[in-house]
Chains A and B, each alone.
Chain A
Amino acid sequence: MHSLRLEPRRDWDLTIPVPNAFLPTNAIVLLKQHAGNPARCAVKEGDEVREGMVLGVPDGDFSAYVHSPIPGKVRSITTVRLPGGGECEAVEILLHGSFDRLGKRPERYIWKGMRRLDILQAIKAKGVVETTGRGFPLDRLLGGSEPGCDIVIPALDPEPYIRTETAIFASRTAQVLEAARIVQTLTEAGRIRVLIEATRQQGQEEIEALAAPSESSAIELTRIALSQAYTIGLASGHEGSKKKGSPIRLAPSLLVAIYDAVIEARAFVERYVTVAGGAIRRPSVLKARIGTPIGDLIEECGGFLEAPERLVLGGPLTGLPARDLDMPVTKTLGGILALTPPETRRAKVRPCIRCGLCREHCPVGIDPEAIMRDLLGGRPGAAHAKGLDSCVSCGICSYVCPSRLELSQTFAAHSGAPR
């Protein structure tokens, strides 16, 4: 495999600490922001809700609690089309009334005095789910880990444009590490390893100072060249992978949610989002309430410089297309990108010329070219035999394809299909 070097496209200044976005006057809270079933709606039209109040209760194993990000009145229970396909119920809240927590001094619970089950219960009750993948509830994610395995904190953003995790780690280093200690205690994990960018960033010295000398065990820092972080991450398994002895990967965005839930007893109602791309006037990372329409955040970043060709929820390689600017921020949304034609480098789809670039760069070592030929030729069995199911949907084959074939998109549509 030949390693692919992605251009970082992050030529804007990061503001640390991360500024808060304006509160939405109208929040749209999806009842499905996690893997598993949508949460069951616990409010009705006209109800008064307070900040952090439960809007939805889990329905089934991989479902999770959903809370109100703002105080206000339930305006309606609507149906929203999800960017990944399908639709789900959403609670629309009109901002009014006073805040219970905003601007007040946060409570501080001493987690070391808490029982294991109470901590897990707090995490679950505050609606904490995986923040970078599909949104598995955290109690599920930690359940399968073995005692003694490492905790890995990828404090960097492997995909171009995105700086969410970097910004969180830089502005809340101590809290991220404290949350990692909580998980370490819960799972009886071994070392804590932090992956950071190889190039020196602002505040890096403080991070090292905070990370190095610590109470129980040292925290290890590993530097990774950002241009290669994407492919390295793919090779080392995904978030919460259950392979024997594999480390628990916890993104800083998830760790601050754990911190807020356990130590400050706050529901998971806000998250950090990168708003970037060539069509955005002032790219930045913002701390936004869940339910804030992405249009509001784009407005706060100075609006559009030009009409974007593509509007993306998430990273440029693995994100989802946004249909409009009303899509709300969810627990798993790390980035909003508005991309211009020179950035997308879209071109006419042409026939495969068998150049082999897809095969050369595939991080899991399958042959996208041959699999595509099988799928287009109506031979799904042959495609599965060639390793279609080991595809991790990283998008690299489609990224490099000089004929702009929709390889990974086609694979995603066929994987898991009956042989």
Chain B
Amino acid sequence: MKATRRVLVSGAPFIHGARTAARDAWFVSALLVLVLVWESLLSGWGSLIVAGVAVGTALLAELLQSGLRRRFELDDGSGFLTGLLIALALPPGLPIYVPIVAAAFAILVVKGAFGGLGNNWMNPALGGLAFAWLDWPSQFTTALHSASPLAPLLPNLPHLLVGFDEWASAALNSLLFQPLGATMPSGYFASLLGLGAGGVPGVPMGLVLALSTILIGKRIIHWQIPAAMFAFFALPTWIFGDVASTGFFSGDALGHSLAGPFFLVAFFMATDPVTSPSRQARMIIFGGASGVLAFLFVYFGATALAPILAVLFMNTLMPFIDESASRLLRGRRG
């Protein structure tokens, strides 16, 4: 009997687990598309255009850099995901060249120049965002304080959300908090559903949190980094956040983390396996330090990009965390 056709002869194992890096990246992207759809319902075509431009630029840049390296890599999903993350983290209403520059810098410089996927020492999306912010800081500030210039798809949705927020906050206050002698300020529900401070549409953080639990359940991301990051951001914010006006222990930790891209960064960018540790203790150190830095950046720089810069800074410290941690462990054993 002759050989069957084209049987592979490399060694064991001959079967594999269901997960592949590309499948994970596309899965995360698919979840983020849901976030994008919701955001566009609030802010209109603006966010869809920004997303289209960012993703398109990212894919073109990916094509260019994989062409230069003679290795087709568009199908690994990482370029698409980077573009999508940039689009979601950018405030709506920015000029169109901002997402273009951010995505191109992310793929070509942060990732491509260092050897492509797996070799970058910063998360590409974070790097691209920081680069764009350094180029046009004033654009970011004005964009953060003005609503989308385009007509919303559902013009009444933001009003409905604000109405729902007021109703839900009042209901919770009368049922739960007032008997306990406390009051919950309104605005949390609006933030969870995608309306930022002053009713500016943005990423629905409630949806981000819900989708993150799916990723944690499927073990695509680990809970340690975002949990530590939130804890170490929320704690100092609560203690020192409003020292000037109302004294210690009165900061609005939840409000500050719901505003801006904090949860998006914590769950979707800080957890990038390439640029974060994967051992329990190191993940907590990494997340915790990112949280503290984010707090410092918010309160001394007052920038909405604080979590982005904080995680970016920790990305650059990753080799140090890995090295010093293993040296400490070895020292304890020896």
The answer to the question of A337 belonging to the interface, with a C-beta cut-off of 8 Å to chain B, is yes
Quote the shortest CB–CB distance from A187 to chain B (angstroms).
32
A residues less than 8 Å from B303 (CB atoms): none
The answer to the question of A287 belonging to the interface, with a C-beta cut-off of 8 Å to chain B, is no
A304 B4 Cβ-Cβ under 8 A: yes
The answer to the question of B13 belonging to the interface, with a C-beta cut-off of 8 Å to chain A, is yes
A residues less than 8 Å from B2 (CB atoms): 324-325
Smallest CB gap from A294: residue in B: B1
B12 A320 Cβ-Cβ under 8 A: yes
Residue in B10, B12, B274 whose beta carbon sits within 8 Å of that of A354 in the complex: B274
Q: Number of contacts between A and B (CB, 8 Å)?
A: 138
B3 A324 Cβ-Cβ under 8 A: yes
A399 B15 Cβ-Cβ under 8 A: yes
Smallest CB gap from A304: residue in B: B4
B17 A400 Cβ-Cβ under 8 A: yes
Query: Bound complex: CA of A355 vs CA of B17, how far in Å?
Result: 14
B residues less than 8 Å from A350 (CB atoms): 21-22, 73, 76, 117-118
The answer to the question of B119 belonging to the interface, with a C-beta cut-off of 8 Å to chain A, is yes
A320 B11 Cβ-Cβ under 8 A: yes
Quote the shortest CB–CB distance from B173 to chain A (angstroms).
43
Query: Bound complex: CA of A325 vs CA of B75, how far in Å?
Result: 36
A402 B19 Cβ-Cβ under 8 A: yes
Quick one: CB contact mask for B51-66 with A, threshold 8 Å, 1 for yes? 0000000000000000
Quick one: CB contact mask for A289-316 with B, threshold 8 Å, 1 for yes? 0000101000000001001111110111
B13 A310 Cβ-Cβ under 8 A: no
Query: Bound complex: CA of A409 vs CA of B73, how far in Å?
Result: 24
| Best-buried of A309, A351, A396 by chain B (most CB within 10 Å) | A351
Residue in A295, A346, A352, A356 whose beta carbon sits within 8 Å of that of B118 in the complex: A352
A residues less than 8 Å from B117 (CB atoms): 350-351, 353
- Known contacts A316-B15, A347-B16, A395-B13; A354 and B118 CB within 8 A of each other: yes
The answer to the question of A412 belonging to the interface, with a C-beta cut-off of 8 Å to chain B, is yes
B residues less than 8 Å from A320 (CB atoms): 11-12
Query: Bound complex: CA of A82 vs CA of B48, how far in Å?
Result: 59
Smallest CB gap from A279: residue in B: B4
A residues less than 8 Å from B15 (CB atoms): 160, 316-317, 339, 343-345, 399
The answer to the question of B175 belonging to the interface, with a C-beta cut-off of 8 Å to chain A, is no
Query: Bound complex: CA of A402 vs CA of B220, how far in Å?
Result: 11
Residue in B1, B12, B118 whose beta carbon sits within 8 Å of that of A408 in the complex: B12
Query: Bound complex: CA of A359 vs CA of B279, how far in Å?
Result: 9
- Known contacts A323-B3, A326-B1; A355 and B278 CB within 8 A of each other: yes
Query: Bound complex: CA of A323 vs CA of B116, how far in Å?
Result: 36
- Known contacts A324-B3, A351-B119, A356-B278; A404 and B12 CB within 8 A of each other: no
Q: Which of B25-59 contact A (CB under 8 A)?
A: none
Query: Bound complex: CA of A74 vs CA of B289, how far in Å?
Result: 75
The answer to the question of B18 belonging to the interface, with a C-beta cut-off of 8 Å to chain A, is yes
Q: Which of B236-261 contact A (CB under 8 A)?
A: none
A398 B116 Cβ-Cβ under 8 A: no
A residues less than 8 Å from B22 (CB atoms): 347-348, 350
Quick one: CB contact mask for B260-290 with A, threshold 8 Å, 1 for yes? 0000000000000110001100000000000
A residues less than 8 Å from B4 (CB atoms): 304, 307-308, 311, 324-325
- Known contacts A347-B20, A350-B117; A409 and B7 CB within 8 A of each other: no
The answer to the question of B14 belonging to the interface, with a C-beta cut-off of 8 Å to chain A, is yes
A399 B21 Cβ-Cβ under 8 A: no
A residues less than 8 Å from B23 (CB atoms): 402
Residue in B1, B19, B118 whose beta carbon sits within 8 Å of that of A293 in the complex: B1
Smallest CB gap from A161: residue in B: B15
Query: Bound complex: CA of A302 vs CA of B177, how far in Å?
Result: 71
Q: Which of A347-369 contact B (CB under 8 A)?
A: 347-348, 350-357, 359-360
Residue in A304, A326, A408 whose beta carbon sits within 8 Å of that of B13 in the complex: A408
Top 5 nearest A-B pairs (CB, nearest first) are: A356-B278, A351-B118, A395-B13, A324-B3, A321-B9
Known: A295-B1, A360-B278. 20 other contacts (CB 8 A): A308-B4, A308-B7, A312-B12, A314-B12, A316-B12, A316-B15, A319-B14, A324-B7, A325-B2, A339-B15, A346-B16, A347-B20, A351-B118, A351-B119, A352-B118, A353-B118, A354-B273, A356-B273, A400-B17, A406-B10
Residues of A within 8 A of B (CB): 160, 293, 295, 304, 307-312, 314-326, 337, 339, 343-348, 350-357, 359-360, 393, 395-396, 398-404, 406, 408-409, 412
13 contacts between A and B (CB under 8 A): A312-B12, A314-B12, A316-B13, A324-B1, A325-B3, A326-B1, A346-B16, A353-B118, A357-B19, A393-B12, A399-B13, A403-B21, A404-B20
